[in-house]
Amino acid sequence: MSNTKSPEYEKAETYTRLSVPPGAPKVILPKQMDEIVSIPLGFCPLGISNYGGLQFLVAHYWSPAILAVKFSELPDGGGLELVRKDCINWVELEDGSGKVRIFPEMTPGSDGKRIQCALLSPNGEIWATRNGERDHIWRLASDHKGGWRLLSPLKVRGVGYIESMAMLDDHLLVLRSKQDGTDVWVENYDTDTLDTNNLFLTDIYHDDVVPQSPWIYGIGVKDGELYFITSISNNVIPRGIYHYDELVVPGVWGTGLVFAADGSAIVTQYNADAGPLGEPSAIVRVPAGAFLP
């Protein structure tokens, strides 16, 4: 892979800051806790997953990097503030020969410059996929000194592109699409075979579980049940958050979806439709009260 950066990638690197645009709020006030609140960002967030409590892992699309962010309670109580806790970008190769920016050399069909999603695994690793990935889930292990090490990848021999991932107990749920205008689906992998680096496919969910649209990037789990969010590109079904195939929060779009302990949904938004590079977008908090019964 060439070290020469295209003008487009140079421009995209201006989107690699965890920043809030000047004058934009990063605080959810007590009076806003029952409202849907959007916090603008200075970078392009794709997937999001739980990292414990009110902490979340955000896939920093263009960097690529994995950001740990947290909603901290305001000192006077009742409100929240979005703060950055950590950033994982350069990681040590397993053999100690050097460092790479999250991912090793490109695999066929993937784009080594972009990260799709990342999550905390049952064994304490971080699992990440890059844009255009089909078979590989890259494993990062903490060195317990503030750094991370890239391990050999997991193999998931499914069909289509990995759009998002979520854990349901000890099962890995993988949202996939063919990116050809056909509907997405979910694959269920058993992590009991983790020691072999080949996860066992136990089930596939289609229209009886998943909203029927090509434009669904986010999958979340709440109380053992599945939720999905449509992207800004979706024009097939109403935009929103779906509980299985039922619309429960109309009008919200996103590229990632996760749930906090209080039942609220945290949504990442990357507006990829705004030109060839998209544009920096937002993190959105959707209170539990916004969900239709």
- Please name the residues in contact with 217: beta carbons below 8 A apart, sequence gap of 6 or more: 46, 47, 163, 164, 175, 229, 231, 254, 255, 256
Band (pLDDT 50/70/90 cuts) for residue 3 is very low
- What secondary structure does DSSP assign to 79-111, as a single string? -EEEEEEEEE-EEEETTSS-EEESS-SPPTT--
Residue 280: predicted pLDDT: 75
CA dist 158 → 41, 44, 136 (Å) = 33, 27, 10
Give the mean pLDDT of 41-68: 92
Domains and CATH numbers, the chain: 7-290 (2.120.10)
φ, ψ for residue 15, nearest 5 deg? -95, 20
pTM for the whole thing? Answer: 0.89
| Burial class for 52, CB neighbours closer than 10 Å (0-12, 13-18, 19+) | exposed
Q: Give whichever of 21-30, 151-160, 244-253 has the largest mean pLDDT.
A: 244-253
CA nearest neighbour of 257 among 235, 285, 277: 285
Give 164-210 pLDDT, tens digit per residue.
999 999 999 999 999 899 999 999 999 887 777 889 899 999 988 99
Instruction: Report whether pLDDT(8) > 70.
Output: no
User: In angstroms, rounded to a whole number, what is the distance separating the alpha carbons of residues 65 and 76?
Assistant: 33
Give 13-34 pLDDT, tens digit per residue.
444 444 445 555 689 999 999 9
Buried b (16+ CB within 10 A) or exposed e, 161-199: bbbbbbbeeebbbbbbbeeeeebbbbbbbebeebeeeeb
3-state secondary structure of 30: helix
